[in-house]
Amino acid sequence: MQLIEVDVLVAGGGPAGSTISTLLSRKGYRVTVLEKDEHPRFHIGESLLPCNMPILEELGVMDQLRDMGVVKLGADFAMATDESWRTYYFCKSYNKTPPNAYEVRRSEFDEMLFRNATKNGVDTRERVKMTKVEWDASGHTTAEAVDRDGNKLVFKARYFVDATGRDTFVSKKLDIKKKNPNHASAAIFGHFKGVVRRPGADQGNISIYWFDHGWMWMIPLKDDVMSVGAVCWPDYLKTRTGSTEDFLWDTLKLAPKAFERMKDAELISEVRATGNYSYTSEKMTGKGWIMVGDAFAFIDPVFSSGVYLAMNSSRMAAGIVEKILRDRSQEARLHAEYESRIRRGIGTFSWFIYRFTSPAMRWLFMNPRNVFRLEEAVVSMLAGDVFDSKEVHQRFAVLRFIYAIRAAAELPEFVRNVLLRRRNAKTIFKGVTTAEGQPDTLGFKNR
């Protein structure tokens, strides 16, 4: 058994863990990151937001990002059968956030951030699985792990960061992980070549299509690769017969205008599925520990918020951990401030997400008006600017009022959508395992 003493122990080597460990190591702290897998490893969530860019600049990886990514100037939205689409350009955001983001292969992106942490002095360890964590009365951590050779490791740390993503290590340990009662969806997706892109400078934009059972994404990657998938009601996914690959093709055909772009497409990856993944935790901090990114909560990926929420929460948490390590008496206050800010940002995304498939929300997105700079506020949300702008939040309040009026005008459809969402939010499946090795709740195996 090997004993290792550090200032900060981080469980999870994805974007959240790599970000917080790099920033704390730069402050002179001894930081160790434990990653259960080995980079590169597949992960979904390939579309970044403009608000990611300042964090990536701070980490010093923008040159690498430009080499690996496809420039994303905005996001376009379309109905399954409509010829036209509506594009929201990031350069039109209310607070003038960065005018572009990037689409990336997550295997490359995550490895880049992890190796960058190593360059910044972090003790990064792959194929090391944490098995146990405890805290004493003062908040100091004792954690146990097993390395790739089966050797037992014991870590003593002054502070612990849970960046385990959907493994939600601490949340499960404390039994505080809760299925989101307001939302449930399931996704099926793959990588293709030969998919038609938007013309000109818009060729790197993400495309979103509404269809009867949810929505679809098209995310352009380098080398003529397109990530294509559908986020659907669990009720619909349960209707599958035949192979997962056939089911994905059949689903894409339900959005004719999206499928037109795939007439010459070739599937170049296995088809993956994951389901019922919207969850939250009752709390995200405790004495001696903090959660970042998906370790606390995950919501529907429609606005590509996952990586940004992970990295932004990690940047916030890095400052908080540094202050706590200097003065433990501040911990409760700093934790409360952190939780308040994170919940506010997630709450903003969630309000839009819960209503995204409703007729009223589709109408709002397809018929934008910039009265009172409302369209600019929507662009700010799409760019990730959801935490601290009072002016943007004031305009969100107006949007909620307009949404309510439109929903009332389409009351029968609104009621049907609400009932459908509530029924699916209660759907529970028997778990299987996805190609990512993550628990899957679709009720069928990938094949």
**CATH code at position 164:** 3.50.50.60
Helix pair angle (306-326, 52-59), 10° resolution: 50
| SS3 state of residue 46 | coil
Residue 199 has pLDDT above 60, yes or no: yes
The enclosing domain of 267 has a CATH number of: 3.30.9.100
Show which of 314, 346, 378 is a domain's final residue. 346
Mean pLDDT of the chain: 93
Number of structural domains in the chain: 2
Question: Other C-beta atoms within 10 Å of 152: how many?
Answer: 11
**Distance (Å, whole) CA 274 – CA 440:** 5
Q: What is the secondary structure of 322-375 as a DSSP string? A: HHHHH-GGGHHHHHHHHHHHHHHHHHHHHHHHHTTTSHHHHHHHHS---GGGHH
Alpha-helical regions (H) of 85-127: 106-119
> What per-residue confidence (pLDDT) applies to 87?
98
- What spatial distance separates the first Cα and last Cα of the chain, rounded to whole Å? 40
Residue 434 has pLDDT above 60, yes or no: no
Give the model confidence (pLDDT) of 79-117 as tens digits: 999 999 999 999 999 999 999 999 999 999 999 999 999
Asked if 353 contacts 381 with a C-beta cutoff of 8 angstroms, the reply is: no
Tokens (6 digits) for 38: 């080995």
Please name the residues in contact with 394: beta carbons below 8 A apart, sequence gap of 6 or more. none
Residue 18 has pLDDT above 90, yes or no: yes
**Distance (Å, whole) CA 224 – CA 262:** 12
Residue 87 and residue 198 share a domain: yes
Please state whether the predicted TM-score (pTM) of the whole model is above 0.85. yes
Backbone angles phi, psi at 166, to 5 degrees: -70, -5
> What per-residue confidence (pLDDT) applies to 418?
82
- Domain around 92: 73-102+184-277+355-447
The secondary structure element, H or E, covering residue 126 is: strand 123-126
> What per-residue confidence (pLDDT) applies to 403?
96
Backbone angles phi, psi at 364, to 5 degrees: -60, -45
Residue 233 and residue 197 share a domain: yes
Percent of the chain with pLDDT over 90: 85
